[in-house]
Structure 1
Amino acid sequence: MKKLLAVAVVCFSLVLLAACGSGSEEGSGSGSDGGESKLAKLKESGTVTVGFANEEPYAYQENGELKGAAVDIAQAAFKEMGIENVKSKLADFSQLIPGLNAGKFDVITAGMAINPDRCKNADFAEPSMMYGEGLVVQKGNPMDLHSYKDIAEKGASVSIMQGATEIEYVQKMGVKESQIQTAADIPATFSAVASGRADATTGTEMTVKMALESSGNDKLMFVEDFKQPEIEGIPSYGAAAFHKDADELRKAYNEALAKLKENGTVKELLEKNGFSAENNSVPEDITAEGVCSGEQY
């Protein structure tokens, strides 16, 4: 009986030690795995896996090569951290955060807009770009659409990429759920408008404008005088996103990103991808925490 009691005491002590050990910094918020942090593992392997949605000019694949402003900025930041190789994985935009949380990616580099809802499921790095919205309609703009309010008041239908913030934006401007269609990607939204299944499509300004230019679709037009909606979330601030247990990795990324902002690299990479260094650079006082809390927009 005494032997059994002694064994029980030893086992109970081991359980307590294990429980106490789980409260260490490596086991809480640093993306740890068996005592080694996510950051340490990535530095050791020299490779980071990024999730992206095929959305030019933020992140897209061309001839097997991952390109785009968000990609270039992330690559530069990881290189600053000593991680040279980037392994890319394509996913539908709506599946990026679920894929991140399922461990399919180490980071999302899709120019994803920070918003309070997304902040509940992922931790964003500091923003690296700023952008507005754009509208594409059939050539000649038969319904005379120039704003989200026009879509609402004229009962127009709009096709929007699944998981995009524009779904929430148009609803805030009065567009009914029955007017909204969703599609897997930008080409699919263009197809809906060109075929007459939808009257318009919307997305971030640079995305829809450049996608339309490269598509060669003469049935569609970009609405040059589109009126930006005056609602929370616009302009949007794009940033890389990390798993909520990868604090150490995200903080190291932020430190590297801050250096790239300070030495002008971020502005150079924005311009390289068709953005404006003046209009698309993030103001110094805007932070991921401020946008997540809804205090900054």
Structure 2
Amino acid sequence: MKKLLVASILCLTIAFLAACGSEEESKLAKLQEEGKVTIGFANEKPYAYEEDGELKGAAVDIATAVFAELGVEEVESELLEFGQLISGLNAGQFDVITAGMAIKPDRCENAAFGEPEMMYGEGLIVQTGNPLNLESYEDIANNPDVVVAVMQGATENDFLKESGVDPSQILSVPDIPASIAAVQSGRAHATTGTEMTIKDALASAGTDELEFVETFEQPDVEGVPSYGAAAFNLEDEELLEAYNEVLAELKADGTVAELLEKNGFSEQMNMVPDEITTEKVCSGEI
């Protein structure tokens, strides 16, 4: 009788430990059980932004479609400054980053990126008439009096420095609207960001004091064009693999192209070529 009791307790203990281990290891199972995923985003139109209390944007729509296929229908959002997204992800504030964040080798050390969902180039906004004739990052570098406003944590900070712009010329701001406001107020002579983002921000500002530089030359630096993707905690391998599997299906059936077009992207300009993979971008091969 005593042996039977001990054996029963041992079995129950093993089962309990196995169950606990399974719960800790499988974020995917947890999300599917709860039917809800929490997304971290920065307010950057048209990738991910909040409007009338609703989370919108190309990256959001793609992630929502993927998670729906995984059986996770409810999406909750948490707004942070762009530079805080990866640290927030690793602190467990949310399950995934969906902000059109560019895949970069240094970022790959701190977050597990899904496969690329979109690609994009850079753009520049200046005062109307472009009085300083700024058409490239090199033009900014060649004029030490020029100040350019850039969102904290954005890839453009590195692009500018790699193009020769002195760090003292870079005005760090928390988000894109703040960068537009800095140029309007005269605190900065220009602002830069991904082309789609700053074009949309300029349209939303509704001002004739600023203009988009149509003749802007794309910087010849590593990381341009950029490839945006969702990002996960490095430990959530199963969730990442499941996300990538469904994403591939939605790319193949045209869903991703439709969602990009819905948000103002061009299939010709913004769809990622099949040969571009996250592994290649993270390794620096691309």
TM-score, with normalisation over the residues of structure 1? 0.88
Could you tell me which runs of 5 or more consecutive residues in structure 1 were left unpaired when the two chains were aligned.
Answer: 1-17
Q: Is 2:135 the counterpart of 1:146? A: yes
The aligned counterpart of 2:91 is 102
Pairing partner for 1:69 from 49, 58, 66: 58
Determine if contact 2:117/2:272 at 8 Å carries over to the other structure. yes
Distance 1:106 1:217 in 2: 37
The aligned counterpart of 2:264 is 274
* 1:217 Cα offset (Å): 2.0
* 1:196 Cα offset (Å): 1.1
* 1:154 Cα offset (Å): 1.6
AA aligned opposite 2:268: E
AA aligned opposite 2:49: Y
AA aligned opposite 1:226: F
Pairing partner for 2:241 from 233, 251, 264: 251
* 1:172 Cα offset (Å): 0.4
* 1:215 Cα offset (Å): 1.2
Q: Is 2:126 the counterpart of 1:137? A: yes
AA aligned opposite 1:206: M
The aligned counterpart of 1:55 is 44
AA aligned opposite 1:46: G
* 1:33 Cα offset (Å): 4.3
Q: Deviations over 1:65-89 (max 9, x none)?
A: 1000000000001111111111111
Q: Deviations over 1:39-67 (max 9, x none)?
A: 00000011000000000000001100100
Distance 1:219 1:102 in 2: 41
RMSD value, Cα: 1.8
Q: Is 2:194 the counterpart of 1:204? A: yes
SS of the aligned residue for 2:251 comes to helix
AA aligned opposite 2:188: A
Could you tell me which runs of 5 or more consecutive residues in structure 2 were left unpaired when the two chains were aligned.
Answer: 1-13
Percent pairwise identity:
65
* 1:134 Cα offset (Å): 0.5
Q: Is 2:119 the counterpart of 1:118? A: no
Where do 4+ consecutive residues of structure 1 move more than 6 Å? Answer: none
TM-score, with normalisation over the residues of structure 2? 0.92
Distance 2:208 2:106 in 1: 37
Distance 1:203 1:233 in 2: 13
Q: Deviations over 1:221-244 (max 9, x none)?
A: 111110001111000000000000
Distance 1:162 1:229 in 2: 19
Distance 2:23 2:215 in 1: 51
Distance 2:184 2:236 in 1: 43
Q: Deviations over 1:154-197 (max 9, x none)?
A: 22111100000000000000000111110000111111111111
